Amino acid sequence: MKDAEPATLDQPRLVPGRACGTCMMCCKVPAIEEFGKPPGVWCRHAVSGKGCNIYPDRPQSCRAFYCLWMQDASFGPEWKPEKAKFVVYVQRNGANIQVAVDPSFSNAWIRPPYEARIRQWVADGAERGRFVFVRIGPRMIALLPGGDVDLGRVDPDDEIVVSRRPGPAGLVYDVEVKRRTAATPASLA
């Protein structure tokens, strides 16, 4: 839930007239790195029906965050996160799309009309290096042109790497999770 703020050079272009209103989904589904909030649980500063109780002092990642519903007029009212029960946003690499689903409604993204459009992003983006990931709490699913890959638990610090190689029927996509929190090898301990 964001109050109206003056535009700044860093602020993305928002759809005129579109506002968060009563939505607070981005206070639940993404991770907040500044205070280690895991994905899929309410931020401890979120107050139901009221918003953020540290609003003037909220971290930078909250100030900078705007979901695609706020930025893209092609998303109709059914895509507003508090209604859809998931938040669509561009990941930090500026290319990949994340569909961060409320774990209380884990199948929300496969309901019509959502899944068909999400699958279209997969089909249109892969050859250009733009991939789509569904996050449901700690769990991540990579939606690749050859099929979905359930990556299991992926922590916010982990890196997901998608690679392409030629196959007999076209490009083949592989996905790998590089764990940032991997145990220190015994030989280095």
How far are the Cα atoms of 59, 75, 84, 129 from residue 100, in angstroms, in the given order? 20, 16, 11, 20
Alpha-carbon distance of 62 to 67, in angstroms, equals 11
Min dist. Cβ of residue 44 to ligand SF4 (A): 7
Q: Which is nearer to ligand SF4, 66 or 109 (by Cβ)?
A: 66
Please say which residue, 59 or 145, places its beta carbon nearer to ligand SF4: 59
The neighbouring-strand residues paired with 166 are 171
Residues engaged in binding ligand SF4 (CB under 6 A): 1-2, 20, 23-27, 32, 43, 45-46, 52, 54, 58, 62, 66-67, 69-70, 81, 87
- 83-92: b or e for each residue (b if 16 or more CB lie within 10 Å)? ebbbbbbbee
Q: How far is the CB of 184 from ligand SF4 (least distance, A)?
A: 32
82 closest CA partner among 108, 56, 62, 107 = 108
* Smaller CB separation from ligand SF4, 23 or 99: 23
Smallest gap from residue 21 Cβ to ligand SF4 (A): 8
**Choice between 25 and 126, CB closer to ligand SF4:** 25
> E strand or H helix at 62, and its extent?
helix 60-64
Least distance in Å: CB of 139 to ligand SF4?
Answer: 20
